[in-house]
Amino acid sequence: MDGAGRIAVVTGAARGVGAATARRLAERGLRVALLGRELATLEAVARSLPTDSCSLEVDVTDEAALRGAARSVAERMGPASVVVANAGIAVAGPFATTEAALWDRVIAVNLLGSAATARAFLPQLLRTRGYLLQVASTAAFGSAPLMSAYCASKAGVESYAQALRTEMEPEGVGVGIAYLHWTGTGMIEGLEAHPVLRELRAHQPGPGSRVHSPEQVAGRLVRGIERRAASVYAPWWLRLVQPVRPVLPMVVSRVSRRSLRGLPAEELREMTGVLGPGGRADWEARGPVGPVVPVRPPQS
């Protein structure tokens, strides 16, 4: 991929897969706009990039701020030709004891925030005949108990992106969906100590339980971007799972029922909450919903 003169936008770029993808894109010569909730952390990532970049603090559920961010990117760097909708959070725990506002926030960030990102940047992608990569998950394959919000949001972004792909094809804009499995980001910190994550992983055989580094996953994503791929799998073998997807919810449900019997209800309630530093930063920074008016986000 000849990145000279091209602009990429990555949401959720402060850490993990987003930061690693930004680095891989910059190594290929693209100039990168990093969007996320933590400006200081974004700036640290930006300083590590070999190409020109800018950092914009923005909540992807705030459409006014996203429109302002899109305008800032276009004015400062040029129109985006690649957009990676990566921002996402997760909450683990029983649906019945998860705070409603927290459950709803996962849907808002992962699904509505992805749609808002596309709305903000599609005018630029139409100009450049660019490519949007929507980050989904194997959580869209089979609904795992204790992760209901995350699974629902990732199934939603998959369906939305499939529809958007068909709509945008005549306009020359490519839309890809990235399916990620266990990835060593802050979202799964303390993996072995967390009863929900531990049980989910313990019942996945062989390669299904392997944790992949953000750098490995970012490499797969960037190769998919280079090909303007309709689907990107990280790891690659997830492609082989697609034909058997209709039976996965039944299998996941049967295995999960057995494992849940051994988990003390009190332990599950105590561990209910948002996962990872990125999710905590988003939850702690949330504010009241205001009028939708275009604004300039904090930036560097």
Q: Which residues are catalytic?
A: 150
Instruction: Spell out the long-range contacts of 185-188 with Cβ–Cβ below 8 A and sequence spacing 24 or more.
Output: 185/15, 185/16, 185/17, 185/214, 185/276, 185/278, 186/15, 186/16, 186/275, 186/276, 186/277, 186/278, 187/16, 187/89, 187/90, 187/275, 187/276, 187/278, 187/279, 188/275, 188/276
Structure tokens given for 202: 């313990």
CA 29 to CA 10: how far, in whole Å?
15
CA 187 to CA 90: how far, in whole Å?
7
Q: If you compute the radius of gyration of the chain from its CA atoms, what whole number of angstroms results?
A: 19
User: String of b and e for 4-24 (b: at least 16 CB within 10 Å)?
Assistant: eebbbbbbbbbbbbbbbbbbb
CA 270 to CA 55: how far, in whole Å?
36
Residue 148 host element (H or E): helix 148-168
Q: Are 126 and 171 in contact (CB under 8 A)?
A: yes
Residue 35 host element (H or E): strand 31-36
SS3 289: coil
